[in-house]
Amino acid sequence: MTTVVILPISNASGEKCYQAITGDKSSVCKTAGQALDALTAELGETEFSALLVIQSFRPDEFFSAEQQKRLSELMSLWRTARNQGKALSFEEQAELDSLVDAELKASTARTASLLQQISP
């Protein structure tokens, strides 16, 4: 199964859009669904299976507003560096990796919480 990450980002005009990423491929579109469809088409896969959990991207008890803000800042720096053929500093990359891990753990905790709510 292919793992796809869909992130809310701002385009050059400052409008909210979504970037779908897997491996070295990505797509940016106005909606998360469009970004996923464009990426799937780029992958050329005839069958695509996935479990989708849609998150509101609002702060919660699992991932704070401060963490979200810093993750967004670092992702913006990372994209700029990548587009220029550069890399983040060691410290910035370590902080980004740490926040990505924290968001993954938060997503896992959020999913566990949802499962508890829907389980009889």
* Domain locations in the chain as residue ranges: 1-52, 59-120
From first to last of its 120 residues, what are the pLDDT tens digits of the chain? 567 778 888 877 888 888 888 878 888 999 988 998 898 888 876 566 665 555 566 788 999 999 999 998 999 999 999 999 999 999 999 999 999 999 889 888 887 887 777 665
Model confidence, pTM:
0.57
Taken as a whole, the chain contains a residue count of: 120
Residues 81, 58: Cα–Cα separation, whole Å: 27
User: Tokens 């809310």 label which residue?
Assistant: 8
Helix 65-83 with 90-118: angle, nearest 10 deg? 130
